[in-house]
Amino acid sequence: MTAEKQLQQNAGVVERMPWKNEMNMEFDAVSLNESFARVAVAAFVAHLNPTLDEVADIKTAVSEAVTNAIIHGYDNVYGYGKHGNSQPAYLIIHPGKVQLRCRLEKDVLQIEVEDCGKGIVDVEQAMEPLYTTKPEYDRSGMGFAFMEAFMDELEVHSRPGQGTLVRMVKKLGTYPLIEEGN
Ligand SMILES: Nc1ncnc2c1ncn2[C@@H]1O[C@H](COP(=O)(O)OP(=O)(O)OP(=O)(O)O)[C@@H](O)[C@H]1O
Ligand SMILES: [Mg+2]
């Protein structure tokens, strides 16, 4: 070990890989935070110069996962469309938080969206295209199918009464840029 390294170690300095980065955030489970979440993730990866398609894919996947946490996890449907004119005149917001965690390692982005809401009894069934438990709110049952299509990996873990964790991974095609130190 060089003297400089030894000094750094003594001072508690941890060597940091420039291509590793993490961010965690928590926000109220209300509809307006859906756009906030997707823009936050897009900003998190912006320095990698992702393509427009990559950014669009990531934003869509984040939107779908966060929307699910809000409207299914916590039943906070206010702000989302409903057939007919039966939008409630008063505003019911169930208290609840959504956690969003992002991790970049080189050009591999992992996103976790977690809620402590009602959970899913049958995850396999929930992930089938066109399966929805809220057709009256114009949901089409395609959220998980989109997440699967737009990301490279999708995992869903859920416990009824405890909440749901969605983990998604996408590899961006920008590693050569990182190697050059950009
Ligand atoms: N975080 C969650 N908490 C509880 N249930 C969920 C959660 N996410 C999804 N689900 C259940 O899984 C079903 C399928 O989700 P998916 O996102 O594929 O479709 P959708 O939300 O119903 O419709 P769309 O996403 O097309 O608007 C939901 O209808 C709901 O029953
Ligand atoms: Mg959905």
Please give the mean pLDDT across all residues of the chain.
88
3-state secondary structure the chain: CCHHHHHHHHCCCCCCCCCEEEEEEEEECCCCHHHHHHHHHHHHHHHHCCCHHHHHHHHHHHHHHHHHHHHHHCCCCCCCCCCCCCCCCCCCCCCCEEEEEEEEECCEEEEEEEECCCCCCCHHHHCCCCCCCCHHHCCCCCHHHHHHHHCCEEEEEEECCCEEEEEEEEECCCHHHHHCCC
* Predicted pLDDT at 84: 57
pLDDT per position as a tens digit, 137-162: 888 999 999 999 999 999 999 999 99
Q: Which of 74, 97, 132 to mutate to test the pocket of ligand 1 (most atoms within 8 A of CB)?
A: 132
Q: Is 101 a catalytic residue?
A: no
Q: Is 139 a catalytic residue?
A: yes
What is the CATH topology of the domain spanning 28-179? Heat Shock Protein 90 (3.30.565)
